[in-house]
Structure 1
Amino acid sequence: MSASGGELSSAMPENIDDSSARSVLAEGLLELFKPCVEEIDDKVSAVRQSQVDLRQQIDSLAEDLRKVSDAQQVPVELEPYVKKLNNARRRVMLVNNIIQNAQERLGKLQQNISKETSRRKTLLQESPTGSLSK
């Protein structure tokens, strides 16, 4: 059993300490999360665009209903529908604001991941234990 332990310790560089192992682990985690954050950011952007499109469609439909209501000889009670559309528009705008805030937070998270990754790479390149070829 001690022979296999000796083989293991000789296979690993003696100058790697816990902090460099943590740095490598942290860098790996950052690289793991970065694509996920970018994908979520892309999806949030797509949802925001669809929210904008939906709001425009609601505005257009509300305007069309107003025109129809104004053009009718016999008054058609469209006011409840216009109110419903306005309520839907308001909810869409609220959701859009929530999504926009989430996207801003994702952007900040993505920037922090990039900064931390760069910082870790710089630290690993500068440290004498950062290179395994020595």
Structure 2
Amino acid sequence: MSTSSRDIMAAGMVEVLRPVVEEVDERVRLVRESQFELRQQIDELDEVLKTLSQEKDSPIELDSYVKKLARSKIKIGVINNIVQNAQERLGRLHTQISKESAKKKALIDPPYLDTMKR
């Protein structure tokens, strides 16, 4: 396979991967947003449960629920870190794809050909 054929194939692969990476990046961004919203709701629920558990006339023992909620908050934090790392890697991959695409395009359509056409 000649160098130009490889370059054309690489450029094609880059163009095929670009939309996939962009879509995954967008979905990861949406997951991070929903994780943030979930974290806020858990914090609000945590405050309500703590307030209720401090009342003397509380009809239910809420300590176990408060503990479960605290564990859930920790798990959400861990998941959020994983998702954030994935998004950062996707961002780097997207940048690399863009750079490779620009390089391949420059090789396929050298600028000196444009000046010769005029």
**TM-score scaled to structure 1, two decimals?**
0.78
Q: 2:43 aligns with which of 47, 56, 59?
A: 59
- The residue identity in structure 2 corresponding to 1:46 is L
CA distance in 2, matches of 1:95, 1:84: 16
Local SS of the residue matching 1:73: coil
Report the alpha carbon displacement of residue 127 of structure 1 after superposing the two structures with TM: 9.1
- The residue identity in structure 1 corresponding to 2:44 is S
Residues paired across the two proteins, number? 112
The structure, 1 or 2, with the larger RCO (C-alpha pairs under 8 Å, 6+ apart) is 2
Q: Any unmatched runs of 5+ in structure 1? A: 1-16, 129-134
CA contact (8 A) 2:52 2:58 kept: no
Which residue of structure 2 lines up, in the alignment, with residue 122 of structure 1?
106
Which structure has the bigger radius of gyration?
Answer: 1
Q: Which has the higher helix share?
A: 2
Q: Any unmatched runs of 5+ in structure 2? A: 113-118
Q: Percent identity?
A: 46
Report the alpha carbon displacement of residue 71 of structure 1 after superposing the two structures with TM: 2.6
Report the alpha carbon displacement of residue 32 of structure 1 after superposing the two structures with TM: 0.3
Aligned alpha-carbon RMSD (Å): 1.8
1:96 and 2:80 equivalent? yes
Q: 2:16 aligns with which of 16, 32, 38?
A: 32
